[in-house]
Chains A and B, each alone.
Chain A
């Protein structure tokens, strides 16, 4: 299903129909086991489908992490809106949530009726290990895409240590780091002379 041949594009100029969007999010929803789901979504949308570039994906991920709500729902909403607008959001999120919601309903019924967890622990250990590999692969891609100079590396390390060593919650870490980083990358007035020097 994911093996469709698609031509790589530098920018996501690709038109995606609501039907394609629904199909893909149904697939993601039904197969999104074991955590690290944002990495799974990136793998499907950016790598397999090539509907979006990393440069378009990662800011959306930041947006969904800064605002309330489950991250995988947030990034899926951002993708659906980018590709198909608000109608895509309704279709995409319904398709993302419906399969796991039905699954959860059945599991919930069985659990509360019979009072035992299904014996899946050893299977899930392997799945969780892959989810960990998925997250790590997203980190590698993100580092490739976003660490372009020394300042980027400083911002990256500072964010990581604020969360891991400073035990700050993610929104606070963003609240501290974003103004500094935006200030560094602020749009600068380029005078005609400088422009002449930069681009001979």
Chain B
């Protein structure tokens, strides 16, 4: 039992420090995460880490939820069978540790952002950030496109989705469901 508690503590310490070092989005922590979770603590194998990455990327929510999968594996599968309550506590600790520290930093920043809304310097920073953000979004689009557009079918689907999003008020979820069904039927 003491070993379980020490794993909880390790998870909390590891993920909260990673939370504050995840500058530029969640994916920047992945190399360190693999080094520690696979290499140092042997919570899971290399292949499992890669699978967990695919799962958390495809599933709902931020990819950062990979820490929940690691938390479940590290705490729920210590014996021969799955221990639900240990895994639930592990999952909750992992989620809190990864999201709370970075959220506190951002909340302080957002607070001052709102407080100074309309001040001359705030307006200047806002104007300055607009074209920069535009560049960041194009860079992100480029990255997403490189993995998402694998062949002409996915390319056409992405283009149709873009047109529908720009020129109709269709809900993106509906578009995703249709695209999921179409690719299931067509790509195999």
Contacts and interface: CB of A to CB of B under 8 A. Distances in A.
Interface in B65-122: 65, 68-69, 72-73, 76-77, 82, 87-88, 91, 95, 99, 102-103, 105-107, 109-111, 113-114, 120-121
Given A69-B102, A73-B62, A108-B72, A142 B157 contact: no
Q: Is the interface of A mostly helix, strand, loop or mixed?
A: helix
Contacts of A58: 129-130, 133-134
B176 A33 contact: yes
A104 B56 contact: yes
B103 A181 contact: no
Nearest to A143: B134
Interface residues of B, number: 99
B165 A137 contact: yes
A37 B56 CA distance: 13
A133 to B, nearest CB: 3
Contacts of A73: 62, 64, 99, 102-103
Contacts of A174: 132, 136
Contact of B144 (A59, A86, A135, A187): A135
A126 B165 contact: no
Interface in A129-151: 129-140, 142-143, 145-147, 151
